[in-house]
Amino acid sequence: MARSEQLEAILPAQYELEYAEPEDLPCCMERLNSLLDEAIAGRHLTRRDLLSVLRDRYKEYKRAQLLAEARRRSV
């Protein structure tokens, strides 16, 4: 997986975790952690560091997802 594809995969995984049903939380957490671990492999970063770096991109992603959902519901 290319580096940017790896990072872009983290955003939907983080969103899915945030909005997951309680029974889906462990699976979503495992997926996000796996993606984070792949992205930081061989680097001196923690999962938290990477999430911090991606914070603004995640906020934009989340806003776009919520707007898209609102549009779907209003049609």
Domain count, the chain: 1
Q: Which residue segment(s) compose the domain that 60 sits in?
A: 3-74
Residue segments in the chain with a per-residue pLDDT below the cut of 70: 1-3
N-terminal to C-terminal alpha carbon distance within the chain: 36
Confidence at residue 6, expressed as pLDDT on a 0 to 100 scale: 86
Confidence at residue 74, expressed as pLDDT on a 0 to 100 scale: 87
Longest Cα–Cα distance of the chain, Å, equals: 47
> 21 phi and psi, to 5 degrees?
-70, 150
- Polymer length of the chain: 75
Matching residue, tokens 């990477």? 50
Whole-model pTM over 0.85: yes
Confidence at residue 3, expressed as pLDDT on a 0 to 100 scale: 58
Confidence at residue 70, expressed as pLDDT on a 0 to 100 scale: 93
Q: Which residues contact residue 71 at a Cβ distance below 8 angstroms, ignoring those fewer than 6 apart?
A: none
